[in-house]
């Protein structure tokens, strides 16, 4: 799993939480889209958790690039901004799900489970999660 | 209309943090930090600011950032916890930023394990973690700090 989040303290807390939620998972992290692309070039990830507001290239653009390069890699977008426009933009960019940070503690675990299950069964399609789907 | 929140923004490494402006007394240039034997690990030592003795707390340790020695370019933010005034060593203080309550999210709603963070705010140029001074020192650390200062 790859976490793309620019704030180090939040990234570390998210990493610990994911390791607790998904025992045995290998978690890598990146602070920018470019760092994420470099990390994914070394080895693919089961799931990418991508913040929208990143320095330089946004998480939306990063999701487009990752999905273009590795269509089998699901991307779950995370953002403080959860208005309909941002949710629509994230899903349009190819995100499998959108989880608003203000409800992440409650909503990320079921979304992550669903994405991982879909991934393991090799099924396609978007996963409903958290945000207001347009 | 959502109320405005004023924060004093500061940097540790590349990360940006904020303290509620109402809890900040002043910002001063770094001064010599005197070690305090038997103080809890989170306390770096004591400073004397115009005759007032204040404990310097290790904010880097709380935020799980790499440790480093204080340098002459660092600043000290003197702020009030519910129990005492404390000083925080910051790489730099960037000034006051404002955000609305709507733009801030409680840290506890985001992810477990960020006890020292009150919330996260989205600003125009990035994100800021809002420091929860009320939770900075545990009751046990407060007690041990009181004892160490009493014996200093």
Sign of CA dihedral B18, B23, B28, B29: negative
In this prediction the pTM is 0.82
Residue B99: closest CA among B71, B74, B61, B130: B130
Rounded Cα–Cα distance for residues A44 and A22 (Å): 18
Rounded Cα–Cα distance for residues B56 and B77 (Å): 9
The residue ranking higher by pLDDT, B4 or A98, is A98
Q: What's residue A129's pLDDT?
A: 45
Is A132's pLDDT higher than 50? no
* Residues of chain A with C-beta less than 8 angstroms from the C-beta of B65: 8-9
Beta strand B75-80 with B24-29 is antiparallel
Any A CB within 8 A of B99 CB = no
Smallest Cβ–Cβ distance between A80 and the set B112, B117, B120 belongs to B120
Nearest CA in chain A to B128: A7
Rounded Cα–Cα distance for residues A7 and B11 (Å): 11
DSSP string, B73-106: T-EEEEEE-SS-EEEEEESEEEEEEEEEGGGEEE
- Tokens encoding A71: 């269509």
Average pLDDT rounded to a whole number, residues B14-35? 93
Rounded Cα–Cα distance for residues A90 and A86 (Å): 6
Q: What's residue B63's pLDDT?
A: 86
Rounded Cα–Cα distance for residues B120 and B6 (Å): 13
What's the pLDDT tens digit per position in B55-87? 999 999 888 888 888 889 999 999 998 889 999
pLDDT interval class at A128 (50, 70, 90): very low
In chain A the first and final C-alpha atoms are separated, in Å, by 27
Mutate to test the interface with B, among A4, A5, A6, A7 (most CBs of B within 10 A): A7
Structure-token match 């916890």, residue found: B81
Asked if A17 lies within 8 A of B117 by C-beta distance, the reply is no
Rounded Cα–Cα distance for residues B75 and B88 (Å): 8
Structure-token match 């904020």, residue found: B18
- Tokens encoding B45: 């030592």
What's the pLDDT tens digit per position in A109-120? 999 999 999 888
Mutate to test the interface with A, among B14, B63, B111 (most CBs of A within 10 A): B111
Any B CB within 8 A of A12 CB = yes
Residue B66 backbone zone (phi > 0: left; psi -120 to 50: alpha; other: beta): beta
Please, which residues 9-68 of chain B have a Cβ atom closer than 8 Å to chain A?
13-17, 63-65
What is the interface pTM, i.e. ipTM, of the complex?
0.78
């Amino acid at each position: 799993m790859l976490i793309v989040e620019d704030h180090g303290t939040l990234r570390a807390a998210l990493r610990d939480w994911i390791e607790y939620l998904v025992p045995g998972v290998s978690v890598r992290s990146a602070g920018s889209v470019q760092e994420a692309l470099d990390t994914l070039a070394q080895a693919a990830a089961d799931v990418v958790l991508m913040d929208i507001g990143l320095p330089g290239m946004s998480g939306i653009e990063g999701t487009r690039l990752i999905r273009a390069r590795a269509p089998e890699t699901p991307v779950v977008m995370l953002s403080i901004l959860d208005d309909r426009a941002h949710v629509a933009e994230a899903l349009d960019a190819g995100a499998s799900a959108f989880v608003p940070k203000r409800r992440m503690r409650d909503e990320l675990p079921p979304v992550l489970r669903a994405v991982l299950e879909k991934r393991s069964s090799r099924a396609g399609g978007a996963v409903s999660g958290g945000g207001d789907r347009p | 209309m959502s109320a405005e929140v004023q924060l004093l923004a500061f940097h540790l490494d590349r990360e940006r943090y904020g303290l509620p402006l109402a809890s900040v007394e002043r910002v001063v240039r770094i001064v010599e930090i005197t070690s305090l034997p038997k103080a809890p690990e989170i306390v770096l030592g004591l400073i004397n600011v115009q005759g007032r003795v204040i404990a310097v707390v290790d904010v880097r340790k709380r935020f799980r950032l790499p440790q480093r020695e204080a340098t002459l370019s660092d600043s000290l933010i003197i702020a009030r916890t519910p129990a005492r005034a404390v000083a925080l060593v910051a790489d730099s203080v960037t000034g006051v930023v404002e955000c609305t309550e709507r733009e801030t999210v409680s840290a506890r709603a985001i992810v477990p394990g960020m006890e020292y963070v009150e919330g996260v705010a989205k600003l125009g140029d990035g994100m800021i973690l809002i420091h929860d001074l009320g939770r900075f020192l545990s009751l046990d650390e407060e007690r041990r700090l009181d004892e160490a200062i009493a014996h200093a």
